[in-house]
Amino acid sequence: MHFAFEQAFSKADAEELLARELTPESFEDRKADEPLYDSFPDEEQCRYISDLVRGVALRREELDGYIQQYARDWRITRIDRVAVSVMRVAMYEILYLPQVPDKVAINEAVEIAKKYLDTDVVGFVNGILGSFVRAVHPGEPEQPVEGV
């Protein structure tokens, strides 16, 4: 999510961003502020992160269209950028990474949102992602996210 957020502000494309940020040195610099960066990802995790960053960048307009569609009466430009980044990542996982269960994508998005956003915005993110999943995967059992 951090890389997706950075893409929203950076003029760097996905490859430049990955080359700059997905390095042991970058993780070392960030670990004091964010425990997530305590250890550098293994090869499989690096591949997943790279695929996700590239995919979100490639599908950004499509993902933003879904956010706009499900954020009734809200223009995407008015939605918190962290919330938008969180939703882009979760929607990409739901649509294009079948190895990530929908419930896991939503739960992770909500947990990340809780770290950075107010409670009402977390509920907003959860609601949009829930509506999105019901629309793109109709007929699948409802899997509410607990604690929202």
- Same domain (yes/no): 40, 106: no
- Same domain (yes/no): 83, 146: yes
User: What is the C-alpha separation between 9 and 11, in angstroms, rounded?
Assistant: 7
Using one digit for the tens of pLDDT, what is the confidence trace for 57-97? Answer: 999 999 999 999 999 888 888 999 999 999 999 999 999 99
Q: Count of alpha carbons within 13 Å of 94, Cβ hemisphere only?
A: 28
Q: Are 63 and 89 in contact (CB under 8 A)?
A: no
- Same domain (yes/no): 50, 82: no
- For 148, counting Cβ atoms within 10 Å of its Cβ (0-12 exposed, 13-18 middle, 19+ buried), the class is middle
- Same domain (yes/no): 76, 36: no
Can you tell me whether residue 137 is helix, strand or coil? Answer: coil
- Same domain (yes/no): 14, 79: no
pLDDT at 147 over 80: no
- Same domain (yes/no): 75, 89: yes
Q: Are 70 and 133 in contact (CB under 8 A)?
A: no
Range of the domain at 90: 59-148
Using one digit for the tens of pLDDT, what is the confidence trace for 2-54? Answer: 787 777 777 778 999 899 999 999 999 888 888 888 899 999 999 999 999 99
CA-nearest of 69, 118, 60 to 89 is 60
Cα of first residue to Cα of last residue in the chain, in angstroms, is 19
- Same domain (yes/no): 39, 97: no
Q: Residue 101 — very low, low, confident or very high, per pLDDT cuts 50/70/90?
A: very high
| CATH number of 78's domain | 1.10.940.10
